[in-house]
Amino acid sequence: MTENQLTIVISATFTAEPLEASLAFWLETLEIPATIEFAPYHQVIQQLLDSNSLFFKNQAGLNVILVRMIDWLNTTPPFLTEFIDLNEINQSAQQFVEALKIATTRSTLPYLICWCPATHELLSVENSNHSFDITLLNLLVSGDS
């Protein structure tokens, strides 16, 4: 890594490595000197809290968090779409917000948080008149944690 080179660390709730080629293409096209590093699969909260994580070792660049909310539910495909446990979503959201608060006090680098779309099975599911993604975003925005 050169003196002026940035590092982009990506942590995701899903396998994010397929994004590397596209991201590398755009970094090269835009002449942005940066390397891309991926944290282990589904280790977002751990990366935020661990002082030996890639996030905390990143000294120049950007820390990226990719979240697909379905990954925070304790379920496996095929998903039970008739019922989504809002308590489980709330607990996961609170854990994420608390971990993010801790991480931002330990690092001067920015965090880019990207909410990735839910699976097509969940896009049409409603629970308490809120879609899955909107419910979690409301929990995060409210600051109740």
Sequential pLDDT tens for the chain (145 residues):
556 799 999 999 999 999 999 999 999 999 999 999 999 989 999 999 999 999 999 999 999 999 987 787 765 555 555 556 667 777 888 888 899 999 999 989 999 999 887 665 555 544 433 455 565 566 556 655 4
Looking at residue 72, its pLDDT comes to 76
Which amino acid does the sequence have at 62?
L
What are the residue ranges spanned by the domains of the chain? 6-142
Looking at residue 45, its pLDDT comes to 95
Q: Which CATH number fits domain 6-142: 3.40.50.1110, 3.30.70.2190, 3.40.630.10, 3.60.21.10?
A: 3.40.50.1110
Q: Six-digit token pair at 2? A: 């050169």
The length of the chain in residues reads: 145
Looking at residue 90, its pLDDT comes to 74
Whole-model pTM?
0.79
